[in-house]
Structure 1
Amino acid sequence: MPLILSRDDYFPSPAMPVAVAERMPQPSFPPHQHAFEEIVIVWRGNGLHVLNDRPWLITCGDIFYLREGDCHSYDSVNDLVLDNILFCPDRFTLGFDWNELLPPRDLDQSASWRLTTRGMALARGVLVQLERESRKTDRLSVQLAEALFLQLALILRRHRYVADGSRALPEGEQLDLLVAAIQGHGSRPFDLTLFCQQNRLSERGLKQLFRQQTGMSIGHYIRQLQLCQAKYLLRTSSCLIGEVAARCGFDDSNYFSVVFTRETGLTPSAWRQRFHPASSAIISEAGAP
């Protein structure tokens, strides 16, 4: 059974609906659940966020919503800095329809939202005030904390997007444009030089900016996205190893196995066997590691 985090440990009073927990940095943390809901904003660094058994690569600008009962953990973190905004919907008094602001509960891509550069700046300003008020217990602070949380939720609603290229981003937000383009490519090879030419960007400058903000190179980011998808497919599908490799952007299944083993310490077949020991031998490709 995963660890369950209680309200009493994070909220200063039974009336306070919101709390802010800074993680500078966020260490690796084992699977756990909450007796409250949560919004997480990633400011810097990178790591793996495992949500309900599905791994997601997270880095600066990523935002995700956790419902009460969700099980998640952090792994392979690298200078990961984030804010946890904890909230109890049953304590809200403003009567606002929160379903208009928060993603639906059945959203499969609940970990793939991103926040524009402008949105991050606006959110950071509100969070400074929210963190201060949410530590108090007087009635005025409780009301102000809820109002500030509403303001934050409105900012996130206006400035969040799914990084698949489906929404136009403001001009000049280089990092946002790059991540949206990479994730929109799916299993197709990403041509960074062509992307920079099309968007009139300096390739060298963009590489430096990406490493500065995320703590990894663009190539490493792409490779980690591929491996997260591979882990998910190996666990949830009956695809042969070669099919998994192709769907994750690898032309050679043997090279895929080498990369996967180097990064995880397990072969693709061994990874699958952790979750499906009885069927692993059947659905693995003959001769594949």
Structure 2
Amino acid sequence: MRDTLLLESRDYLPSEQMPVAVAERYPQEGFATHTHQFCEIVIVWRGNGLHVLNDRPYRITCGDLFYVRASDCHSYESVHDLVLDNIIYCPERLRLGAQWESLLPPFAASDERYWRLSTQGMAQARPIIAKLSQESRKTDSLSLQLTEVLLLQLAIVLKRHRYAVDKAHMLPDGEQLDLLMAALQSGIDGPFELAVFCQQHHLTERALKLLFRQQTGMTINHYLRQLRLCQAKRLLRRREFRISDIAARCGFEDSNYFSVVFAREAGMTPREYRQRFVAAEEIGP
């Protein structure tokens, strides 16, 4: 098993009483596999990269939202101008009698860690996080209380404006980037026609391409290909799917072309990638 770095609370929080801190990653560099003595909320503002959470790869970009528990193991790889905030919190230090069980892990029963945050949600979260960053650097009793109140406000905003990638119908009209992201992530297994999408939502194709590149650092086609490759990596770890079936499930009509693209991106063939995890399972921890 790989050596895993443990990040300690004392290195991120100014006192043993402070429940919350903000770790600003402007930019977020590649970061080795690690766990924590704390939980964290990860909000991606710009750029792109690979977030590997409990051995599951996610191609991340602006608007991606993760809830990470202390025991979760994760890392960042292949990052490009990736900008994000880590909102760190110690559950055992929270004193406010709030309904945390419906808002944040480890209180929340749901195992769902990955969401998308709407454009409106990102706009509302930013000033809360800025204030939280300021107050969490202090150690007086009022700041201790205010940081927890701000964390509660942030948690509510995130829950109100987050959405699952297969729930595009929940998004209001006019949020162009949100609609496009949802369409891309829910349509990995088939062709995506940008012109048809723009016509359906009364959008300008050229302007949408420019907006997407400004926010993510990628073209739409590149992002969609990365999503498909992440999905392929997940499926390759399951022995019941043949490689040709995985190619089809990930939107590649030609399994040979899929193998070429996969090898170029991952540095190994799909078969070699699968064998690496099969071998790890046989060896055990």
Q: Where on the TM-score scale, by shorter chain, does this alignment land: which range?
A: over 0.9
Match in the other structure for 1:206: 208
Q: Could you tell me which residue of structure 2 aligns to residue 110 of structure 1? A: 113
Taking every aligned residue pair, what percent have the same amino acid on both sides?
62
Whether 1:153 aligns to 2:185 is no
**Alpha-carbon displacement from aligned partner over 1:140-186 (angstroms, at most 9, x marks no partner):** 10001111111111110111111223542122110001011111223
* Greater displacement, 231-240 / 137-146: 231-240
1:122 maps to 124
TM-score (norm 1): 0.93
Q: Which among 85, 88, 94 is matched to residue 86 of structure 1?
A: 88
Distance 2:197 2:168 in 1: 16
C-alpha distance in 2 between matches for 1:62 and 1:130: 20
Q: CA deviation at 1:250?
A: 0.8
Q: Does 2:227 match 1:225?
A: yes
Q: Is 2:2 the counterpart of 1:19?
A: no
User: Counterpart of 2:246 in 1: which secondary structure?
Assistant: helix
1:251-282 CA-partner distances (Å, limit 9, x unpaired): 111000000011111011111111113999xx
Inter-partner Cα distance in structure 1 for 2:173 and 2:83: 26
CA distance in 1, matches of 2:157, 2:5: 31
Report the alpha carbon displacement of residue 137 of structure 1 after superposing the two structures with TM: 0.5
* Residues 102 and 157 in structure 1, CA contact (< 8 A), matched pair in contact too: no
Q: Which residue of 1 aligns with 2:33?
A: 31
| Distance in 2 between residues matched to 1:167 and 1:145, nearest whole Å | 34
Structure 1 residues 279 and 268: CA distance shift in structure 2, 3 A: farther
Q: Give distance in 2, aligned partners of 1:278 and 1:4.
A: 22
CA deviation map 1:38-89 (0-9, x unaligned):
0000000000000000000110011100001000000000000000000011
Provide the secondary structure at the position in 2 that maps to 1:227. helix
- Please report how far the alpha carbon of residue 237 of structure 1 lies from its aligned counterpart in structure 2 after TM superposition: 3.2
The total of aligned residue pairs comes to: 278
Measured on the aligned residues, the alpha-carbon RMSD in Å equals 1.6
Aligned amino acid, residue 116 of structure 2:
R
What SS does structure 1 have at the residue aligned with 2:49? strand
Which residue identity lines up with residue 93 of structure 2 in the other structure? R
Residue 43 (1) aligns with residue 45 (2): yes
Give 1:238 shift.
2.9
Aligned to 2:79: 77
TM-score, reference length from structure 2: 0.94
User: What residue in structure 2 maps to residue 287 of structure 1?
Assistant: none
CA contact (8 A) 2:188 2:227 kept: no
User: After the TM superposition, which of the residue ranges 188-197 and 268-277 deviates more from structure 2?
Assistant: 268-277
1:140 partner SS: helix
Distance, in Å, in 2 between the alignment partners of 1:17 and 1:31 is 24
Shift of the 249–185 alpha-carbon distance from structure 1 to 2, 3 Å rule, reads same
